[in-house]
Chains A and B, each alone.
Chain A
Amino acid sequence: MNELIFFINYVVISGSVSGSIYAMGAVGVTLIFSIMRFAHFAHGDMMTFGAFMVLLLTTLFPQAGAAIGIPTPILLMPLAMALTAGLAVGIDRTFYKPLRAHGVKPIVMVIASLGVTLMLQGLIRLFAGTGGSSLYVDDRKEIFRLPVPIESVRVPVVITEPQLYLFGLTIISVIGLHLFLSRSRLGKAMRAMSDNPDLAQASGINTNTIVAVTWMLAGGLAAIAGTLLSLDVTFKPDLSFFLLLPIFAAAIVGGVGHPFGAIAGGFVVGFAEALAVFNWGLLLRPFRDSLPEWLELPSNLAFVGTEYKIVVPFFILVAILVWRPTGIFKGKVIT
């Protein structure tokens, strides 16, 4: 039974954590692609920017959360989301909009977004330094060790406070996004523009408004993902940049242009990573005595070492591009 708890801790919880973060990043990437038709590479750094805003605000008001009893970074996150949404709209106005007005090819936009990536990372390094820093300035990260009420089980299920917030906020975001896209006039207009931009315009939908709303949504979600990731580990200026590959893999697996596909894709990639680095030897341990003598159980039976985790999304990405380029939900093909 202890082994099963290991599995829950290292695969179920850990997979859900990365899955949630990838999902929220991938939703932003896929929304931007469906409206503006380009792969936004600066997305990871928008996540970092959101986390950096939380760090900044938490450093300024370290006591703010204690008054209400929730961690300060979580309390200040809505503010950081607004700032990141503002940044996203600002970046679009300054860099992407003039390019769109020229009618450039998508690849030019992609390269421009790479430029934005470097700029954002440089800026964040300039102010935050290159090292890591904890978003818990005054608070303490709560770690819950939940004992399992079974006699023989000694290992507790371990879950941290930011992970619980992450799961909660992911569920709220998904439901909120669903309601927005399926019920609100603006959300439907957004889907209309993704479906058929010319007809959307001919119906009187203001495409500039839709573009701005898309950036705000993507920016806000990026800020949530970046902050909760930094809460779970520590804040580093290049933390989210390295998530770019799994996030794009998630968006493509889900079928680009499908927000809910992106969420599914996020969890597929997250769990695939967790399953690949899990030490399957742990699960075989109870049968150690019944194994034949010549078969000695190696201490580590993972598919890939943790340090090579990045090959998993890379493999998924290549596989899906070769065998099913439109993803699970028949999305668009990124060009």
Chain B
Amino acid sequence: MPLLDARDVHGGYGGMNILNGVNMAIEASEVGVIVGPNGAGKSTMLKAIFGLLTVNQGEILLNGDPIHNLPPNKLVRRGMGFVPQEHNVFPSMTVQENLEMGAYLKPDNVKRMLERVYEFFPPLQEKRHQPAGELSGGQRQMVAMGRALMPEPDLLLLDEPTAGLSPLYMNEIFERVKEVNAAGVGILMVEQNAKQALAIADKGFVLAAGQNRFTDTGAALLADPDVAKSFLGG
């Protein structure tokens, strides 16, 4: 049974559908990457999975249970974590307080998971008493991922985790994503830096106009001349 199984998902804001039948399945051991042109519905799909917009048709299963149209806080309880692209930290709160807020629903986790998150992201330990708003973009992204990891999710959704970061930080974030995945957390992320992201992807989903255009392993997609020509800039 896949960790996440989205079948024929239609959905959008209000009555307008942006997703017109998306299929996506990943296992707990996998990193899934969603790529595609602007307006393809990549982030929309992530938000649909996290209950931030209405799914009008189709179904989304987490560990076999239907979860579509459940509110985000229920999904957090069921083992899903979401890192939005922007505004993904509490800027006036310290790094440690940000992480504590991640475990708001599971207060017993705080002590144990703080240690684990600091292991994943050593720079955060030094800065734990600094307000998150004063950190650099890359470190802020680490805080955001750390916050989402605090409740020990089975599945972590990342919306463009490397947007606006320098190539150096981009590689660092991808490294962390692989490490987190190796620790048993399934990852589904949307990325603009398609080539680099597909390189670490077990599964890649190329969306266009709210539908799957190509679905394969990351390596296969990178090798596919059609994908390269239309979506990876040659």
Where the two chains meet, the residues of A that have a C-beta atom closer than 8 Å to any C-beta of B are: 185, 188-189, 191-192, 194-196, 198-206
Query: Is there contact, CB below 8 Å, between A204 and B105?
Result: yes
Chain A positions within 8 Å of B100 at CB level: 185, 188
Query: Is there contact, CB below 8 Å, between B88 and A191?
Result: no
A198 with B87, Cβ < 8 A, contacts A192-B93, A206-B73 known: yes
Partner of A192 from the list B72, B77, B87, B101 (CB cut-off 8 Å) is B101
Query: Is there contact, CB below 8 Å, between A195 and B90?
Result: yes
Query: Is there contact, CB below 8 Å, between B88 and A199?
Result: yes
Query: Is there contact, CB below 8 Å, between B87 and A204?
Result: no
A122 CB to closest chain B CB, in angstroms?
39
Interchain Cβ contacts under 8 Å between A and B, 20 examples = A185-B107, A188-B93, A188-B97, A188-B101, A189-B101, A189-B104, A191-B90, A192-B90, A199-B84, A199-B87, A199-B88, A199-B90, A201-B72, A202-B82, A202-B84, A203-B102, A203-B105, A204-B72, A204-B76, A205-B101
B171 within 8 A of partner (CB)? no
A36 CB to closest chain B CB, in angstroms?
18
Query: Is there contact, CB below 8 Å, between B92 and A195?
Result: yes
B200 within 8 A of partner (CB)? no
C-alpha spacing A200/B92, complex, angstroms: 13
Query: Is there contact, CB below 8 Å, between A195 and B91?
Result: yes
A196 with B91, Cβ < 8 A, contacts A203-B101, A204-B105 known: yes
C-alpha spacing A88/B200, complex, angstroms: 53
Query: Is there contact, CB below 8 Å, between A202 and B72?
Result: yes
**Contacts A195-B91, A203-B147 supplied; 5 other A-B pairs, CB < 8 Å:** A196-B87, A196-B91, A202-B72, A203-B105, A204-B73
- Convert B177-195 into 0s and 1s, putting 1 for each residue whose CB lies closer than 8 angstroms to a CB of A: 0000000000000000000
Chain A positions within 8 Å of B76 at CB level: 202-204
Chain A positions within 8 Å of B73 at CB level: 201-202, 204-206
C-alpha spacing A97/B76, complex, angstroms: 25
Chain B positions within 8 Å of A185 at CB level: 100, 104, 107
Name the interface residues of B58-108: CB closer than 8 Å to any CB of A. 72-73, 76-77, 82, 84, 87-93, 97, 100-102, 104-105, 107
B50 within 8 A of partner (CB)? yes
The residue on A at minimum CB distance from B100 is A188
The residue on B at minimum CB distance from A189 is B104
Query: Is there contact, CB below 8 Å, between A198 and B84?
Result: yes
C-alpha spacing A191/B91, complex, angstroms: 10
C-alpha spacing A188/B90, complex, angstroms: 11
C-alpha spacing A204/B72, complex, angstroms: 7
Chain A positions within 8 Å of B89 at CB level: 196, 199
Chain B positions within 8 Å of A204 at CB level: 72-73, 76-77, 104-105, 151
Chain B positions within 8 Å of A189 at CB level: 101, 104
C-alpha spacing A192/B91, complex, angstroms: 9
A93 CB to closest chain B CB, in angstroms?
21
Query: Is there contact, CB below 8 Å, between A191 and B107?
Result: no
C-alpha spacing A206/B72, complex, angstroms: 11
C-alpha spacing A310/B88, complex, angstroms: 43
Residue picked from B89, B90, B91, most chain A C-beta under 10 Å: B90
C-alpha spacing A309/B73, complex, angstroms: 50
Chain B positions within 8 Å of A191 at CB level: 90, 92-93, 97
Chain A positions within 8 Å of B97 at CB level: 188, 191-192
Chain B positions within 8 Å of A195 at CB level: 90-93
Chain B positions within 8 Å of A201 at CB level: 72-73
Chain A positions within 8 Å of B82 at CB level: 202
A135 CB to closest chain B CB, in angstroms?
39
C-alpha spacing A185/B108, complex, angstroms: 12
Query: Is there contact, CB below 8 Å, between B104 and A203?
Result: yes
C-alpha spacing A191/B132, complex, angstroms: 13
Chain A positions within 8 Å of B88 at CB level: 199
Chain A positions within 8 Å of B147 at CB level: 203
C-alpha spacing A195/B89, complex, angstroms: 9
Ordered nearest first, which 9 A-B pairs have the shortest CB separation?
Answer: A204-B105, A195-B90, A204-B73, A204-B76, A192-B101, A202-B72, A192-B90, A203-B101, A203-B104
A332 CB to closest chain B CB, in angstroms?
11
Chain A positions within 8 Å of B151 at CB level: 204
A202 CB to closest chain B CB, in angstroms?
5
The residue on A at minimum CB distance from B73 is A204
Chain B positions within 8 Å of A198 at CB level: 84, 87
The residue on A at minimum CB distance from B131 is A195
C-alpha spacing A44/B118, complex, angstroms: 47
